[in-house]
């Protein structure tokens, strides 16, 4: 794995304006594994100008031809599946098996889906005596997070390209190596120069420069709600649309009569995946009073099976969190949960035995959590599960909706219709019913402080289009 000492702009790797570097650290070993340029506002400006120059040609490219380039991109990524998995494991700390199945295979599938969508999408429609055109919004500034680094890149770049937009990407500074690999795949796929541009850099400098740039027509950001609010304010001041995929504190509601053993097992797995660094994780498990104690015991037993280990080991199920700062954040929440009276039934703030080196966190389960506790309200972003008790389904609805977030959730019931009826009452963007599988063609996004807009499928493509009506 080798980092480029340059930025990808206008179809080639070009030196950054400044000499600043970002060190990429393996969170399992604390060793520096690469260095990439710390791009500046000047680098962002050059990339935006390249994207702006390439826009007319790419917009005029037939959708079928754009689809062919996206198919080639998907093939280029698929050819490097093992390298993608190893890269993400090294810079994020995700177990290798999880990196293959999720960090590599999911974005490969999403890239392929947009090749199909680009070829089939109705970019024109007739409404009465009007011809309605769905046109690319222009130059897109994409700012992506570190927790699902390649998936979030593809979920923004692929639909933008399918729509006929050009893109400037600023990836998270923790995980820039897979972003460089993506740029190599773009190059291999033969996209015209300037259609995709990559600027690695820090958020306060490169990220803000991109979000506020006058040459950017839409900003798509995934990350924390606090940063999303800042980006929304910058874009709003310029009357510029934004797509924001932000935080979550999702509820996993187990209704009376549901298969408790399966619901708890799947719920714990959901929270422990990616070391809990998932915005849509079901971090609040709601269980009826009659079965609450049983659920607590099952959750503690399930969490014990997630033994922290070396991400490069095929048997490892739980790797470290991404950075020392993230570990301090997560363990701080664990300490706060104890201080506020929650009962620790698994894990804790101490480093896992045998992992004093590396940014590991023990898989942690809290019981006797009340809705007002900090650990029940704020996004922890680590392998921490909270269990809350409810007396009846009305209280379950109130607890589930008692959060500023609304990104995801789950409902388990004896029958599908009972679960669907409950899910309709939840203020959240997507709900898994009795363990329903993730669908990369379905819209993904949140209510309330969890964001604005949707990603994936045709709904994700629509974010990058604007409409024009021709009255005939």
> Which tokens sit at 327?
């570990």
- The whole-angstrom separation of Cα 364 and Cα 377 is 17
Q: Which residues have a Cβ under 8 Å from the Cβ of 60 and sit 6 or more positions away?
A: none
> Which tokens sit at 387?
């269990």
Please tell me the chain's helix, strand, coil percentages from 3-state DSSP, rounded to the nearest 5: 40, 20, 40
> Which of 91, 279, 418, 463 is labelled catalytic?
279
- The whole-angstrom separation of Cα 171 and Cα 169 is 6
HEC assignment per residue over 270-287: HHHHHHHCCCCCCCEEEE
**Kind and range of the H or E run holding 185:** helix 177-188
- The whole-angstrom separation of Cα 362 and Cα 79 is 35
279 is catalytic: yes
Which among 307, 253, 298 has a CA at the least distance from the CA of 434? Answer: 253
Tell me which residue has tokens 């992992």: 355
Q: Which sign, positive or negative, has the C-alpha torsion 424, 427, 429, 430?
A: negative
Which SS3 state, helix, strand or coil, does residue 285 take?
A: strand
The CA-CA-CA angle for residues 29, 35, 37, to 5°, reads: 150
> Which of 173, 245, 418, 463 is labelled catalytic?
245
Would you list the DSSP string of 235-247?
Answer: HHHTT--EEEE--
What CA dihedral angle connects 211, 200, 113 and 463, to 10 degrees?
A: 0
User: Do the beta carbons of residue 375 and residue 340 sit within 8 Å?
Assistant: yes
- The whole-angstrom separation of Cα 344 and Cα 335 is 10
What CA dihedral angle connects 59, 60, 65 and 70, to 10 degrees?
A: -10
Tell me which residue has tokens 């698929």: 78
165 is catalytic: no
**Kind and range of the H or E run holding 66:** helix 63-78
Q: Which sign, positive or negative, has the C-alpha torsion 270, 331, 92, 358?
A: negative
Strands 409-412 and 251-254, bridge-based pairing: parallel
| Catalytic positions, written as ranges | 245, 279
């Amino acid at each position: 794995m080798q980092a480029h000492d340059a930025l990808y702009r206008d179809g080639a790797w070009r030196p950054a304006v400044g000499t600043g570097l970002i060190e990429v650290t393996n969170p399992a070993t604390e060793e520096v594994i690469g260095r990439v340029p710390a791009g500046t506002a000047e680098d962002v400006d050059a990339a935006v100008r390249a994207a702006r120059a390439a826009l007319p040609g790419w917009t005029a490219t037939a959708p079928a031809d754009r689809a062919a380039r996206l198919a080639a991109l998907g093939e280029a990524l698929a050819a490097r599946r093992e390298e993608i998995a190893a890269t993400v494991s090294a810079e994020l700390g995700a177990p290798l098996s999880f990196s293959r199945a999720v960090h590599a295979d999911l974005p490969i599938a999403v890239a392929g889906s947009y090749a199909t969508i680009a070829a089939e999408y109705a970019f024109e429609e007739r409404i009465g005596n009007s011809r309605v055109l769905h046109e690319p919004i222009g130059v897109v500034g994409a700012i992506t997070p570190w927790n699902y680094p390649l998936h979030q890149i593809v979920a923004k770049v692929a639909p933008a390209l399918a729509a006929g937009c050009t893109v400037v990407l600023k990836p998270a500074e923790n995980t820039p190596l897979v972003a460089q690999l993506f740029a190599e795949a773009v190059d291999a796929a033969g996209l015209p120069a300037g259609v995709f541009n990559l600027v690695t850099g820090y958020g306060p400098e490169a990220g803000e420069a991109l979000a506020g740039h006058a040459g950017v027509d839409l900003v798509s950001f995934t990350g924390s709600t606090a940063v999303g609010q800042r980006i929304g304010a910058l874009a709003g001041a310029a009357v510029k649309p934004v797509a924001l995929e932000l935080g979550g504190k999702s509820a996993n509601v187990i209704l009376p009569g549901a298969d408790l053993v399966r619901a708890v097992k799947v719920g714990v797995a959901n929270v422990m995946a990616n070391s809990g660094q998932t915005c849509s994780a079901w971090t609040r498990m709601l269980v009826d009073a009659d079965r609450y104690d049983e659920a607590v015991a099952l959750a503690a037993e399930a969490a014990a099976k997630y033994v922290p280990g070396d991400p490069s080991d095929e048997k490892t199920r739980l790797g470290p969190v991404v950075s020392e700062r993230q570990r301090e954040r997560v363990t701080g929440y664990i300490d706060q949960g104890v201080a506020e009276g929650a009962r620790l039934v698994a894990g804790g703030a101490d480093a896992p035995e045998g992992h004093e080196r590396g940014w590991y966190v023990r898989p942690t389960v809290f019981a006797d959590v009340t809705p007002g506790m900090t650990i029940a309200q704020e996004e922890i972003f680590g392998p921490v599960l909270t269990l809350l008790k409810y007396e009846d389904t009305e209280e379950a609805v109130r607890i589930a909706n008692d959060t500023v977030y609304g990104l995801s959730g789950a409902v388990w019931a004896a029958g599908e219709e009972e679960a669907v009826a409950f899910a309709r009452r939840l203020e959240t963007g997507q709900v898994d019913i009795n363990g329903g599988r993730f669908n990369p063609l379905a819209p993904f996004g949140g209510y309330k402080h969890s964001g604005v807009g949707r990603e994936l499928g045709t709904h994700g493509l629509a974010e990058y289009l604007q409409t024009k009506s021709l009255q005939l």
